Chain A
Amino acid sequence: MKTSVFLGALTVAGIVAGGAAAATMDEVKARGKLNCGVTTGLVGFAAPDSNGNWEGFDVDVCRAVAAAVLGDPQAVEFVPTTGKTRFTALASGEIDMLARNTTWTFSRDVDLKFTFVGVNYYDGQGFMVPKDLGVSSATELDGATVCIQTGTTTELNLADYFRSNNISYEPVPIETNAEAQQQYLAGACDVYTTDASGLAATRATFEAPGDHVLLPEIVSKEPLGPLVRHGDNEWGDVVRWTLNALITAEELGVTSANIADMSAAPGNNPEINRLLGTEGTLGEMLGLSADWAKNAIAAGGNYGEVFEKNIGEATPIGLSRGLNAQWTDGGLLYSPPFR
């Protein structure tokens, strides 16, 4: 009884909060700043540098949206959120959008009432083992001790995978990624498992990264993407199509280097013209200026540039495009057409 009254009060408060924040775009424009939720720190995805400027893969999505809406990629107030506080921060209206390597799942979309506007990184759970273990496939891990973060989906995925393959393992529960690195290096476990991007980032910090290998098996789907609240579709469209603009720009060969030339006058590719606002009224339909996509792309470059700058092969993290390549290159990135 008591819980139901309490939950009822929560729901009412949630509805009031949702109703008050119906026109997010107007609020953002009036405020002159975008409140964007990011992680408190994840290598390559979001972290402040020594001058306090945020940088990273997720951060650039925030900057692109700010550039599209307000014309200034710096007009972002980054709100760091933890895994525990991120959803309440979004639901309560403290932030306008969340770009925090959040996995798109059914229950988060439907039950928590959020709208995932797309996927900016296709991740999956992988395994890392020391080279001298002599293992080349996860199916050979029978009886291994596995370091795993408690309370995450990776824990459940691991149990599912090992049970369906009928092999045994011994979990070593740990709390944070930092602790996991130390435990793994100290030899407390044979295997460390978490998202493949996280494994690559972790391995990059080792003194001898070459002594460790990532196994080829990816045992789960972790589509990470930005999300907004349910109920404000105009705002959801703005974030969705800003992300699509970055992806389309790469597909069409629009980069931060040539965007000034391309947007100066209509060229001979009509889709580029529509994207950059030299033709058609796409910006107007969104309630933005005609050069919204141009600003978004100019903020940090197209999707490929953002990827290479933050987590690509030239960085210490050294992730290859893999699933995150354009559909034309055999990846999964596929933006609906700008028409």
Chain B
Amino acid sequence: MSDTQSHNVAFVRETFLPESAPPSTATGPVKWIKDNLFATWANGLLTVAALYLIFLVLSSTMPWIFAGIWNAESLAACREVLDGVSGACFAVLTERWNQLLFGFTYPTDQYWRPTLAFVLLFVAMAPVLFFDLPRKLLIFTGLYPFLAFWLIWGGTILAPLLALAGVVVGYLVYDRLVKNSFAAGFFGGIVAAFVVWYIGGFLISDTANENAMLQAVPSRDLGGFMLNMMLGITCVSLSVPLGIALALGRQSNLPLIKGICVVFIEFIRGVPLITLLFVANVMLAYFFPPGSGVDLFIRVVIMITIFSAAYIAEVIRGGLAALPKGQYEAGDSLGLDYAQSMRLIILPQALKISIPGIVNIAVGLFKDTTLVSVISMFDIVGMIRGPILASTDWNGVYWELFMFASVLFFVVCYGISQYSQWLERRLATDHR
């Protein structure tokens, strides 16, 4: 059989052809371009149109950016150097660099303090954000708020130490009482902390700030992007726990707690943030005697915090509602009490579901901190709109300044969003 066949077939190749690369139209960039950019006539047309649009945008902006002047004393000097050529005047950024970052009244020789606080911020945030890091780093995170307060505001070190002591005493009391009842521990801890602060307030003399190691800087002197960062970080970190408490309170079986939480959330969500800021700045001033009253920074922090806490509460409520009822029942059937089942079963799952929503609100809140410029606080937008654009030297420079501000905000917000995507992948335990 095989013999006859071998005579019938004219030629049989006995060796393999050497492997050769696929034709250039079926691989590499050419294929990619063909598949993705010019798959059909319509796609090809759209690609060309899009490329042309990109070219238009870049050809008008790039020369403007590259012709930019980085060293000049004023807008007029910039224009003199440019001599009719269209170009950016980035000199305003170099000349007002410190003002954009720190505001115009922060003492110049103390800039290292907020800078150091900013660097330490990453150390403090790392164990919270990346939970693979050693847990002992959390001790530093706990100390960081007091350290940062002391670095930025300066003054006597006794004030942050007293605040820390109050928190520690409050925690110890809570730890002792919580075994009997959660409410006793919770309120006992708060009362103990306030008692420590109140008594400690008498121990710190009024003149303690005058010869302190770090020169005291009043809140009014804070400004620039530093103020945005401070407001953003403080308010986000305060509003997440508050939002969780509100979300749980809204699901509570106790009508009083539930009622308070519902009214609070619905009221705050029904009022624009800018109204709350005006209340913080303008209205409260009427109710305190002149020269006293709560610091404006703290008033603003409180207002922004409760505003975003109301939103975060609703996001977390969505996460809680998304959990199957079986999860709650599972907790009950294991004999866990309310606090345990929430901590061990419900919240970890609900929070994981809520991550995109929480991050969304955090990004929005961070950008909303620029609203404080309308109540004459000099955050970065306030600095640009007020002092810098109003100086005789730089009146008329808009694009450069606002581009700079948007770059700063983009870097931070994009970072937050990338972290949250990493976190979602890291926490993904569900079936895929």
Question: Which A residues have a C-beta under 8 Å from some C-beta of B?
Answer: 10, 13-14, 16-17, 20-21, 39-44, 46-52, 79-82, 84-85, 88-89, 91-94, 176, 178, 181-182, 201-202, 204-207, 315-317
Contact = CB atoms under 8 A, between A and B. Distances in A.
B375 interface: yes
A82 B375 contact: yes
A204 B395 contact: yes
7 contacts: A43-B390, A48-B104, A84-B282, A85-B375, A92-B290, A205-B75, A205-B395
B61 interface: no
Contacts of B281: 85
Interface of B: 75-76, 79, 95-96, 99, 104-105, 108, 220, 278, 281-282, 285-287, 289-291, 374-376, 378, 382, 385-393, 395-396, 398
A48 B285 CA distance: 25
A82 B375 CA distance: 7
Contact of B290 (A41, A79, A94): A94
B376 A316 contact: no
A79 B287 CA distance: 19
B179 to A, nearest CB: 45
A2 B277 CA distance: 22
B282 A88 contact: yes
B99 A41 contact: no
Contacts of A39: 386, 390
Contacts of B396: 181, 205-206
A89 B287 CA distance: 12
Given A46-B390, A92-B285, A82 B395 contact: no
B278 to A, nearest CB: 7
A89 B396 CA distance: 29
Contacts of A81: 376
Given A43-B395, A50-B95, A178-B398, A84 B385 contact: no
A89 B291 CA distance: 11
Nearest to B105: A52
B389 A178 contact: yes
Contact of B289 (A17, A48, A317): A17
A176 B99 contact: no
Given A47-B390, A178-B385, 10 more contacts: A17-B286, A48-B99, A52-B104, A80-B386, A81-B376, A85-B281, A88-B286, A94-B285, A205-B396, A315-B392
Chain B: interface secondary structure?
A: helix
B391 A48 contact: yes
A95 to B, nearest CB: 10
Nearest to B285: A92
A82 B374 CA distance: 7
Contacts of B76: 316
A109 B151 CA distance: 45
Contact of B398 (A10, A47, A182): A182
Contacts of B398: 178, 181-182
A13 B95 contact: no
B267 to A, nearest CB: 15
B209 to A, nearest CB: 16
Contacts of B391: 41, 43, 47-50
A52 B99 contact: yes
Given A43-B390, A43-B395, A93 B96 contact: no
Nearest to B221: A52
A88 B390 contact: no
B384 to A, nearest CB: 9
Residue among B382, B385, B389 with the most chain A CB within 10 A?
B389
A20 B293 CA distance: 14
B96 A50 contact: yes
B392 A48 contact: no
A48 B96 CA distance: 11
A204 B388 CA distance: 16
B95 A41 contact: no
Nearest to B97: A50
Contact of A85 (B95, B282, B393): B282
A17 B290 contact: yes
Given A88-B285, A94-B285, A178-B398, A316 B386 contact: no
B291 A93 contact: yes
Nearest to B107: A52
Nearest to B290: A93
A181 B386 CA distance: 15
A191 to B, nearest CB: 19
Contacts of A48: 99, 104-105, 387, 391
